A and B are shown apart, each in its own frame.
Chain A
Amino acid sequence: MDKRNLVKIHNWLWEIPRTYRADMKVPARVYASEKMLDSILGDRSLEQLVNVATLPGVRKYAIAMPDVHEGYGFPIGGVAAVDEQEGVISPGGIGYDINCGVRLLRSRKSLDEVKSVLPKLAHSIAREVPSGVGRGGKALFKGADLDRVLSDGARRIVELGDGVAADLDAIESGGRIEPADPKLVSVHAKERGQDQLGTIGSGNHFVEVDVVDKILDEAEASRFGIASGQIVVLIHTGSRGLGHQVATDFIREMTAAMPRYKISVPDRELACAPISSTEGQHYLQAMAAAANFAFANRQLITAGIRRAWRWEFGEDEPLDIIYDVAHNVAKTEEHQLDGTKTKLIVHRKGATRAFPGQPVLIPGSMGTASYLLVGAEAAMRETFGSTCHGAGRVMSRMRAKREINGEELRERLANMGIIAEAASTKGLVEEAPEAYKDIDAVVDIVQHAGIAKKVARLRPVAVVKG
């Protein structure tokens, strides 16, 4: 595919018409500047988007955000809405890390007030919140205890004393997605997850202490309780091994089931089943349970960060949740289609729900900015209430390890005033800033396109990761 296959809708939106390939059921659309589009065409993400546009029951458009990059089956940074009656559910449209997501905490402290204790604070957070390959958490959840977490998500953790009721009001869907059924989560998945609650894991997951670098919308910033110079804490992680095992289990199950439903897909990772089928319903219930596990994980991580915070600043210094939002999940939502309210299953894989007025959290890479955005009206008309989720990789982890020197990176981060508390140099190198797109350009595009609005730019001052 090259640029000639795309029709320019406006400066920030391009369309691949249905005529591009005979099996497309809807057109595909990508939000990008011309420069960003050149970069996107460097991998196979738009061919993958075209594949998504062939799925049974897909409606309106298959959509790619400016941070789109090649994934397994679906591109990362993709949105696909399917009709609840006629459509299919595809685990690949959610991703292996079910409810990978972001939570933002607000402190009352300024950078000047925390600067002197930042190294100690980062170390305390690293001690309270385990990270890295195979690192288990402090609590073991088994049997009925784990099932309660899978059913009730963050609510269960608050019931157990780690958090307050107000926390739940600041989490997407109150920290619990329905229709979760723990019985549909395999024994293997439960065994992988039983010691992982309260842990970050590895890869691009982190806890980051940020300073509010720039306010870009005073009214919204005030509504979210933040001001320039304020310290906030960003958490980025998901459902750990449990979510991965649920995805693996159901991709396998749906691969076997597709011939029964006479479904064929252009890529095995798009394995799917009708939403109304037993397999489709079972996946939705298991996925919701894994999503609840992820909400619970971020709630327990929050508890660990609050303990570390209190040790440094005392019992009366709160860390309140601004918001917690998933960027790998499928949800049942009502959207206008041809003037009619229609129930759809919206797959968001590396894409964030962005309903008008809702906070949207966009994590960057170490050494670059992160953003707090707010959802906008155009998202409801154009993207099923969705926007981007991050910077998007431009360099594979293997390539980053080959090309980037770990010690040089640590020194560079230190020179930028960023404390890096990493379990391994390898983990640090894989997530170096140059492995990602320019996040400022990504959020500029979604703002120009009107599918989200910038509220504040956040700059990292300490990063804790695997």
Chain B
Amino acid sequence: MRVIARTQQDLFAEALRGLMDLVKGEGVQNDEVRAQVQVTAPDATALLIDFLNEVLTRCHIRREVYGRVVFPSMSAVALEAELEGHPVASLGEDVKAVTYHEADVREDNGVWSTMLVFDV
């Protein structure tokens, strides 16, 4: 999946949206769920991959998908995220992990981008 955005925060939010589109299965319930995630990493690429894996793990364990995210804080090596979503009866695509393969978060002339490869 190729992700492009105007800011680092938007890039992370769009990447999450893409991941959730894949894992969203059937039977999305009306109940709202919230979660907070904190991640630190050596650089922005690792930060994105570790963040997505953290959320993916929650999806698998809690059978939830998250449609909204707000980042109260984000730097190149740390973030706090507040997630909102819904329980689901079942997950869709079996994304087992978000890999570092070809991932490279970069900013060129105000455009943030990366490639993401999922282990399915």
In the complex, which residues of chain A have a beta carbon less than 8 angstroms from the beta carbon of B91?
133-134
Query: Which segment, of A154-162, A170-178, A241-249, A319-327, faces chain B?
Result: A241-249
Question: From residue A98, how far is it (CB to closest CB) to chain B in Å?
Answer: 12
The one of B46, B53, B60, B117 in contact with A72, judged by C-beta atoms closer than 8 angstroms, is B117
Contact of B90 with A72 in the complex, beta carbons under 8 Å:
no
B80 at interface (Cβ–Cβ under 8 A)?
Answer: no
Give the most central of A251, A259, A466: most B CB within 10 Å.
Answer: A251
Closest Cβ neighbor of A251 among chain B residues: B100
Q: Number of contacting residues on B, CB 8 A?
A: 25
Interface assignment of A203: CB less than 8 Å from any CB of chain B: yes
Say whether B92 contacts A133, CB under 8 Å.
yes
The answer to the question of A96 belonging to the interface, with a C-beta cut-off of 8 Å to chain B, is yes
Q: Is the CB of A133 within 8 A of B57?
A: no
Interfacial chain A residues near B25, Cβ < 8 Å: 133-134
Interface residue from A203, A267, A269 paired with B94 (Cβ < 8 Å): A203
Residues 31-48 of chain A, each 1 if its beta carbon lies under 8 Å from chain B, else 0 = 000000000000000000
Jot down 11 A-B pairs with beta carbons below 8 A, ordered by A.
A73-B101, A133-B93, A134-B63, A134-B94, A201-B94, A244-B119, A245-B57, A248-B53, A252-B50, A255-B42, A268-B100
B97 within 8 A of partner (CB): yes
Q: Across the interface, do A241 and B96 meet the contact criterion of CB distance under 8 Å?
A: yes
B9 within 8 A of A: no
From B42, B45, B93, A259 is in contact (CB under 8 Å) with B42
- Residues 47-99 of B at the A interface (beta carbon under 8 Å): 50, 53, 57, 60-61, 63, 90-94, 96-97, 99
How many A residues have CB within 8 A of the partner chain?
28
Q: Mark A54-78, 1 if CB is under 8 A from B, else 0.
A: 0000000000000000001100000
Tell me whether B3 is interfacial, beta carbon within 8 Å. Answer: no
Q: Are A133 and B103 in contact (CB under 8 A)?
A: no
Cα distance, A245 to B96, chains bound together (Å): 8
**Nearest-CB distance from A133 to chain B (Å)?**
4
4 additional A-B pairs beyond A72-B117, A244-B119, A267-B100, beta carbons within 8 Å, are A96-B96, A133-B93, A191-B61, A247-B97
B5 within 8 A of A: no
With a CB–CB cut-off of 8 A, which chain B residues contact A142?
none
Please report the C-alpha to C-alpha distance between residue A97 and residue B119 in the assembled complex, in whole angstroms. 10
- Interface membership of B41, Cβ < 8 A: yes
Chain A 118-152 against B: per-residue CB contact (8 Å), 1 yes, 0 no? 00000000000000011000000000000000000
**Are B42 and A72 in contact (CB-based, < 8 A)?**
no
| B63: chain A residues within 8 A (beta carbon) | 134
CA distance A245 to B93 in the complex (A): 17
Q: Are B94 and A72 in contact (CB under 8 A)?
A: no
Complex: chain B residue closest to A134, CB-CB: B91
The 9 closest A-B pairs by CB, nearest first: A268-B100, A133-B94, A72-B101, A244-B96, A202-B94, A191-B61, A134-B91, A72-B99, A188-B57
- What are the residues of chain A within 8 A of B46 when measuring CB–CB? 252, 255-256, 268
A397 within 8 A of B: yes
A192 on the B face (CB < 8 A): yes
